[in-house]
Each structure stands twice: as C-alpha cells, then as structure tokens.
Amino acid sequence: MDKKVIYSAVQPSGNLTIGNYLGAIRNWVKLQNEYDCFYAIANMHAITVKQEPAELRRRTLELAALYIACGIDPEKSALYVQSHVPQHAELCWVLNSVAYVGEMSRMTQFKDKSQKHAENINMGLMDYPVLMAADILLYQAQCVPVGADQKQHVEIARDLAIRFNNRYGETFTVPEPLILKGGAKICSLQEPTKKMSKSDENPNASIFLTDDRDTVIRKFKRAVTDSGSEIVASDEKPGVTNLLNIYCAFKNCTLQEAEREFEGKGYGEFKLAVGETVADALSPIQEEQAKLLADKNYLGEILKSGADRAYRAARRTLSKVYRKIGFYQGE
C-alpha cells in the first residue's frame, strides 16, 4: 500500500524560534520514516507582507539548511522551494473560483495581519489560505502537521477540497490537520501568557534558533518568573510553567520529573539550567547549518531534486483538475 502523504511548510520570513522548532520541524523529522513527506519553503506566502528581496533570498537558503540541520533527510522527504513548482500558483487560481470572499475575509490570520499591516492589505494576504490549500491539495496530502495557529487554514483547505469534489467529482484527498501533542505551547519569556513569536518586538521574549550560547543563557536569566519561589507547573505560575515546558521538551522528560529535579532549588539556578539545556541542543544544529550554508552548490542540488520530485506529483494532480473543470489540454 502507498504510504500516507504528509505536507507542511514554513515561511522564510523572520528567524525561527524554539517554538517553531518544537512545534513543527522537530516533529516533521519523526514523520519521515512512516510517511511520504513534502516539506516546502513557502516563499510565495512570505511576499504577502513586505520583504526585502535580498533578505528573502538569503533566508530561503538558510531555512533549507536549517531543515536539514534539524534532521530532515532530503533522501527521504521532498524538500523544496514553493516557487520552484509552478503548479502551486496554477492550482491556487482554480481554487480561487471555488473560494468565497466572505469566508476568506473572516479568517483570523487575515484579520490580524490586516490590522498589523494596515498600509498593505493586498489581495495576496486575503488569498493566503487559498494558496495554502493549493499547496496541500496538490500532493493529495492526508495529514498536515502544523501548530495550532494554522488549524483554521487546514480546515479551509478541507472545505475547499470537499466543495470542489462535490462540484466536479472526486478529485482531492480531504486533508486532516495533525496538531502534535507533547509540544506544549511555548510562550514568550517576557509575557508568558502569550505565544512565543518570531515577530515579537522585544528580542528578549523569544529564543531564536540562531541565538548563540551567551544570548540564550542571558535571555533565560532575564525571563519573567512568578511570585513565590517554588518550581512547579501551575496556572498561577505561567512563567515558571513555560520554562519547565521548554526544559522538558528539550530533555524529553515529564513535568513531574523536572519538578522533582528542581525541588528546593532557586529560580536563578533553574533558569541557568534551562538556558544551558537549550544552548546545548541548539549548538549542533547551528554548526550543521553553517556547514551546509558554506556549500551553496550542494544545497542548490538538494532543492532542485526536491522540486523535481514535487513537480511530478503536482503535475499529476493539476492535470486531473484541469480535466475535471473542462480546460482543454489537447487530444
């Protein structure tokens, strides 16, 4: 039997945080053996907000190197750049005629980004979920591993797939979001009731995958903790709980185990231990990423072969779609 298909992507905008790593990329690595995986660098999504062209180009390669450094194996998974496979834009156009303006204007992320970028509410921003649906449906993906914030987008992809299938006959696999557990929500180090974000204004709020050891340790030292001195996870202690969650995610241990380990210890010692654990986990990834970025030809080859593989799968679906909707494709 064919393996199930997994699709996911990250935008090459901004620096990734440990939240992105724990919530997305680290889980993708585990899925590679059991599934047929397509992992993309969503540069077409990225331009829906203003990007500096040179920076977008640089970040695309950095993200490719990071994927591999985190353990995505380009022999197993198709690792590619979205714009290298023209079918994404082509299917998006078809799906645009199935998607309603009303439903797109109600999407949470569209509303948030419209507020944040009020001077640039462009068509692409509103079309973002349709392009994302095209990404997923092109590969007939069953599962889409994403963070909870992307669940609504996967649901729209489901709706569009079902609507298209009803209108034109069975064409698309209806995808399911795969919200992976274990990755507790990673929150800001400065406002621990808010999600850690790559676009936080306060650089001390987020740990970026590119932060060096001293920076990581310094940010953890400055992390907001709670009143009292006990190191336990509870709703009354969002700061301590967040640090414990981060510690457990990197140590692969349970909250109870971590609480026991830090029993009777002070906040200072605790924060240093969390900082060192995270720095220890990031440094091999950073070294590997730097090594990969030093060989642009090799990276280019990998992205080309990933795009070839994606292209073949995408072409099959698009041709089926064109047939169903009545686009003449020759005799």
If one asks whether residue 45 binds ligand TRP (CB under 6 A), the answer comes out as yes
If one asks whether residue 11 binds ligand TRP (CB under 6 A), the answer comes out as yes
If one asks whether residue 146 binds ligand TRP (CB under 6 A), the answer comes out as yes
What phi and psi values does residue 204 have, to the nearest 5 degrees? -80, -5
Cβ 89 to ligand TRP, closest distance in Å?
13
Cβ 42 to ligand TRP, closest distance in Å?
4
CA distance 238 to 244: 10
Q: Report which secondary-structure segment, H or E, holds 178.
A: strand 176-178
Nearest to 79 by CA among 328, 300, 238: 300
Q: What six digits make up the tokens of 321?
A: 């779609």
CA distance 247 to 213: 16
Cβ 298 to ligand TRP, closest distance in Å?
25
Buried b (16+ CB within 10 A) or exposed e, 27-42: bbbebbeebbbbbbbb
Q: What residues act catalytically? A: 113, 195, 198
If one asks whether residue 9 binds ligand TRP (CB under 6 A), the answer comes out as yes
Among 62, 127, 135, 211, binds ligand TRP (CB under 6 A): 135
Among 16, 37, 42, 85, binds ligand TRP (CB under 6 A): 42
Between CA 316 and CA 121, with CA 11 as vertex, the angle to 5 degrees is 100
Cβ 8 to ligand TRP, closest distance in Å?
4
CA distance 192 to 204: 12
CA distance 245 to 251: 10
Binding window for ligand TRP (CB under 6 A); candidates: 9-17, 165-173, 237-245, 291-299? 9-17
Q: How many residues in total does the chain contain? A: 331
Binding window for ligand TRP (CB under 6 A); candidates: 146-154, 214-222, 224-232, 252-260? 146-154
| Binding footprint of ligand TRP, residue count (CB under 6 A) | 14
Cβ 113 to ligand TRP, closest distance in Å?
11
If one asks whether residue 7 binds ligand TRP (CB under 6 A), the answer comes out as yes
Among 77, 87, 150, 317, binds ligand TRP (CB under 6 A): 150
27: left (phi > 0), else alpha (psi -120 to 50), else beta?
alpha
If one asks whether residue 80 binds ligand TRP (CB under 6 A), the answer comes out as no
If one asks whether residue 132 binds ligand TRP (CB under 6 A), the answer comes out as yes
Site for ligand TRP, rule CB under 6 A: 7-11, 42, 45, 132, 135-136, 144, 146, 150, 153
